[in-house]
Structure 1
Amino acid sequence: MSTQQHPGSAGRPFLTAVVDDDDLRRNALRQRLDRLGHASLVFESSEDLIAALRAGREFEWMMVVLQAGSLQVQLKTMLGLSRAPLLLVALEDSVGILSDIDKSLLNSGRVDVVPLSCSDREIEWRFQLLMQRKTLFPLSGDDLTWGPYRFDKGRRTVWINERRVALKPLEFELALEFFRHTNFLVTRERLYTEFWGGSFDSSKSRRLDVCVSNVRRKLDLDSGSGFFLRSVYGRGYALNEVVPHAGQTTEDAAQMLRSFGTGGAEERASSYGR
Structure 2
Amino acid sequence: MSARNELRRRVAVLDPMLRSREHMRRAIRALGHAPLVFNDLEELLPLRGSLLRCSALCVGLPQNPIEQQAWIRAARSLVGPDVPLLFLARENPVKAAETLRCSAGDVVLAAPLSFADVYKGMKAFFAQHSLAADHAGLEWGGYRFVPSRESVVLDGTEIGMRPLDFELALEFFHNIEHVLSRDWLRTMAAGLAPETGGRWLDASVGRLRSQLGLIAFHGCEWKLSTIRYAGFKLSRSPGKKAPRLVTLSARDLKLEASPVLGF
TM-score range, shorter chain: 0.3 to 0.5
